[in-house]
Amino acid sequence: MIIDINFIGLIIASIMASAVPLILASCGELITERSGVLNLGVEGMMIIGAISGFALMTVTGSLIIAIFGAMLAGVLISTIFAFLTQTLITNHVATGLALTIFGIGISAMIGKNFVGIPGKEFPVLFEALKDTMPLLGPILFGHSIVFYFAFALPFITSYFLKKTKIGLIVRAVGDSPESASNQGINVRLVRYACILYGGAMSGLAGAYLSMIYTPQWIENMTGGRGWIALALVVFSTWNPIKILIGAMIFGGLTIIQFHMQAIGVRIPVQFLTALPYIVTIIVLVVISRDSRKIRLSTPSSLGKSFHKDN
């Protein structure tokens, strides 16, 4: 087995491709959580995005309609969550779990007619440049537009939260909804917006799976990636740039494991499957020991309902 530089480039490119849905969903959920809302429905919103994107692509034949339609579907289903948790003040955790179960069920129902239909080829950019450079060629070129967007998103999110006024408002709402409300900020409106944005990104993540990564519809095709995305937000300590790193690690585990198997090195698969969650627990333990770090990153009102006294 000769390991040449192009081979490493190919592996890194595969890892990046597998990280895309995690980055998208995590960055969306990060904004939702920064506004103080814990939405455990990521898996459900992703699968709704996956079936909506695939169904729209099959019916309309337009990839653009399909991609935006999937995001819209994510928005619509997260509206249910937003209405329940913000207007009716239901418990975030229970509502989020219900959203996941609902999403998986309804996607299976819609998807019945779309099983066994091959997807369309999604165009890739800069395909010709792929072979011009060793190592960097396959990493940088020949990917879909969603791929490039996903890798830009953590930086955009970071800029948004740190440097823009709206970003500051989101953080204020997440850290102290009472103070924000006293300053005249409509907490409910901000949280609605953040939940819907999270829904759109989860929808896009799902569409990436059903339209680009493995172009087909199969029930339950998100395969727990929504839960990994949730774990990733905690792993990143609510920092978008760290999501990028975490997604590469979490997404890369299976790929590295498969390569090792093909070379002949064995690692217990069950251990690797559990690893993202184990790492997340370790991170949780570490950050909860350091009160300063918690204060800096964890949205203080995360998961707490906000009752506005009129």
Partner 1 sequence: MHKFLIRSFVSSLVLLFTLTVAAVAKDVKAAFVYIGPTGDHGWTYQHDVGRKAVEAAGFKTTYVEGVPESADAERVLRQLANSGHDVIFTTSFGYMNPTNKVAKEFPNVKFEHATGYKREHPNVSTYAARFYEGRTILGTIAGTMTKSNVIGYVASFPIPEVIRGINSFTLAAQKVNPNIKTKIVWAFTWYDPGKEAEAAKALIDQGADVIAQHTDSTAIVQMAEKAGVYAFGQASDMDKFAPKAVLTSVENNWGPYYVDRVKAVANGTWNQKDTWHGIGDGMVVISDLDSQMPADLRSKVKKLQADLASGKVHSFTGPIYDQKGNLMVAEGKTADDGMLAGMMTYVKGVEGDIPK
* Contact positions vs partner 1 (CB under 8 A): 1, 7, 10-11, 14, 18, 108, 111-112, 115-116, 118-119, 209, 213-221, 223, 225, 254-255, 258-259, 261-264, 266, 269-270, 273
Q: Which is nearer to partner 1, 129 or 286 (CB)?
A: 129
**Rounded to 5 degrees, what are φ and ψ at 143?**
-120, 170
The distance of Cα 283 from the centroid of its chain, to the nearest Å, equals 19
C-beta of residue 114 within 8 angstroms of C-beta of residue 217: yes
Q: Which is nearer to partner 1, 215 or 303 (CB)?
A: 215
d(CA 98, CA 45): 11
C-beta of residue 80 within 8 angstroms of C-beta of residue 99: yes
| Radius of gyration (C-alpha) of the chain in whole angstroms | 20
Least distance in angstroms from the C-beta of 232 to partner 1: 16
**Rounded to 5 degrees, what are φ and ψ at 125?**
-100, 150
Least distance in angstroms from the C-beta of 219 to partner 1: 4
Least distance in angstroms from the C-beta of 274 to partner 1: 12
Q: Which is nearer to partner 1, 174 or 276 (CB)?
A: 276
Least distance in angstroms from the C-beta of 201 to partner 1: 18
Q: Which is nearer to partner 1, 54 or 81 (CB)?
A: 54
Least distance in angstroms from the C-beta of 133 to partner 1: 17
Residues in the chain: 310
Least distance in angstroms from the C-beta of 137 to partner 1: 14
Q: Which is nearer to partner 1, 22 or 170 (CB)?
A: 22
Least distance in angstroms from the C-beta of 268 to partner 1: 8
Q: Which is nearer to partner 1, 189 or 265 (CB)?
A: 265
Least distance in angstroms from the C-beta of 58 to partner 1: 13
C-beta of residue 237 within 8 angstroms of C-beta of residue 288: no
Q: Which is nearer to partner 1, 91 or 254 (CB)?
A: 254
Q: Which is nearer to partner 1, 1 or 285 (CB)?
A: 1
